[in-house]
Structure formats: structure tokens, C-alpha cells
Copies of this chain bind each other. A is one copy, B any other.
Amino acid sequence: MEKKITVLPGDGIGPEVIASAVRVLQVIGKRFNHTFHLGYAAIGGAAIDQYNNPLPNETIHMCEESDAVLLGAVGGPKWDNNPTHLRPEKGLLQIRKHFDLFANLRPVKAFPSLLASSPLKREVAENVDLMIVRELTGGIYFGEPRKKTADAAVDTCVYSREEIERIVDNAFELARLRRGKLCSVDKANVLDTSRLWREIVEEKKKSYPDVQVEHNLVDSVAMKLITNPCHYDVVVTENMFGDILSDEASVITGSLGVLPSASIRGDNFGLYEPVHGSAPEIAGQGIANPAATILSVAMMLQYSFGLKEEAAEIERAVSAVFDDGYFTADLAQDGTRVLSTDEWTDKVINE
């Protein structure tokens, strides 16, 4: 197989974790006889510095010619006081919208060897294996009108039937490939957009009789994700709720530093990135944890290229290195060995 991938290292630790992930990708390519052509481009703060634009046209063009995009992280204090259109995260919002990447998939799965880092009791967190499916290109993030004066401000949450249908279909299909359970999250006791959302889930469920569906209010899910996270298989929700709940869910298993994500649009194209941010405070020291980016490569292989075996191989290797007691500094526990970004990546590659 031959694939073109655009690589966007971004800011902070982005370039370091990307370097690791690219090494793993190349090793997998060699071993399974695939050729991955990589092109590098700028996004976020790095792109603001170079092009005065968090998502330059050059970057868009390169992504358009690619089969998938691998992103490090964006942002940092240097750009925090910029006007909105010159903020690093604007590049992220724009690339999602431009490429219509409407489905953000965020799996959260416990690694037994990381549970000591979880704020939750072991028995609460140890069997967690859930996937949050967040709508990523609609709702209050992009709705018009939006306006701010010195005396008032407005944001608008809009959803069309079509926008809801496609994300709900996506979630049903994922549930089918997993344990067949879907929790749809809304605030139907208050919001009109939620009432439409709930109606559409009710209609769609007739086409997926093999999936067991429940509706749950966002406030109640915010509780249950902590008291009983094992209850969940696939959780589907709109953009803003998904932003909050997926970050909340990311701390359950103590493995925030190792969580990958995919942002896809239904064909094979997708953008893959670690859940964690650019961690400017440790950038350049060679101590960042590359696991989340390496696992994002695994998601890319699976969702964009259909390479299940290759993806599983990466996941197995990462797990094995943890089980052998090798960690980067962020996950260090008593009696474990602390490795640098490069050393830890070597271990994964050896596996």
C-alpha cells in the first residue's frame, strides 16, 4: 500500500512526539511493506510566526493532496494574547471545518499498568473501555450570529437534521463493531437542539436493532462517567458537550498522556492527534510522552487505511512497554524506569 500523509508538528512538544510517531510509522511501513510519503507543513503558533496565519494555504493544499493528516499539538503562552484570528487554536478549528471532519473519536481504555496514576479507585477505573464520539463541526462552535459588544454577547447553537444524522449514524456503526451499546447525551429538558437530537436518535435506532440505546442528560453523564465509567461503550454527543465530557473522560484511567484521537468525515480521510496539549513548559527537553501520538498513528492506520493488523501491532507494543515498567517522566511511579522520549520510542520499536 502507498499513502500520502501530511505531518503537522505544531508547537511545544508537538515536534518531539511527532518525531517519535513518525519513526514508529516508518518501521511499521517497512515491516508490512507499505510506503508512506510524508510531507511536513505548519499549523498553529509555528504557522503564525512563519506566515502570520494559523492555517496557511500551503498547509491546506498539502492536506488536500494527502490521504491523512498527523498533528502534534498547537498553542503556547507566546500567542495567548493574540487577537482571535491569530490564535493557534484557530488553525485547529479551521482545519476541522475546512475538511468537514465532523466526527471526533476519543477512545478511553484502561492500561492496567497505569492505573496507579488514576485519581479514581482501581476498582472503578480498571475495566473502562469506552469511546466518545463528539460532533466536531457544528453547534455553538460555528453557529451564527455570534457577536460581542462591551454590553452584551451572543453565541448561537445550530444543528441541522443532516449534521445530526451523520454523526449519529457514525456512532451507531461504531457501537455495532464494539459491545453494541450507545449512550446519546443531550440536554433535552432545556434545549431545542437537544430535542431534535433525541428525536433523530430515536428514528435512527430502528435501523440498528442490534444496538442498545439510552438517552442521558449531560449533567447526569458528567456524574456517571466518574461513579461508573464501565457502564459506557459508545457515547455520542454534540460539539460543546463532547468537548467537556471527552476531557473529563480522559482523566479516568490515569492515562491522559497516552490517549489518541481521530477526526474523520465518513470517507477515509482523517486527522489524527494526541488528546494532550502542547505542554510548552516541558518542550525541548526530550522528556515528552510520545505514546498518545504513536497510538494516534495506530488509529490512522485503522480508520484511514483499513490496516487493522498494523494498528493492533502498535497498540500491543505500547502496552507491552508499559507492562515491562518503562515510562516517560509524566507517568513515573515508584520502582519504574524513567526513559526519555527517544529511549521510550526505541522500546516500542524493539517490541
Contact = CB atoms under 8 A, between A and B. Distances in A.
Interface of A: 87, 89, 93, 118-121, 124, 140-141, 143, 146-148, 150-161, 187, 189-193, 195-197, 218-220, 222-223, 226-228, 240-241, 243-248, 250-252, 256
B148 A196 contact: yes
A226 B244 contact: no
Contacts of A251: 223, 226-227
B227 A247 contact: no
- A-B pairs, top 7 by smallest CB distance, nearest first, are A153-B196, A219-B247, A148-B192, A222-B248, A153-B193, A153-B192, A155-B157
A189 B87 contact: yes
Contacts of A152: 158-161, 196
A102 to B, nearest CB: 16
A323 to B, nearest CB: 22
Contacts of A190: 93, 140-141
Contacts of A193: 148, 153-155
Contact of A158 (B124, B140, B153, B247): B153
A154 B139 CA distance: 9
Nearest to A225: B248
Contacts of A121: 118-121
10 contacts: A119-B226, A119-B228, A140-B157, A147-B192, A153-B197, A155-B156, A226-B226, A226-B248, A226-B251, A226-B252
Contacts of A192: 146-148, 153-155
B157 A156 contact: yes
Contacts of A157: 140, 154-157
A150 B141 contact: no
A191 B251 CA distance: 24
Given A120-B121, A140-B190, A150-B161, 8 more contacts: A87-B189, A119-B226, A120-B120, A152-B158, A152-B160, A153-B192, A153-B197, A157-B157
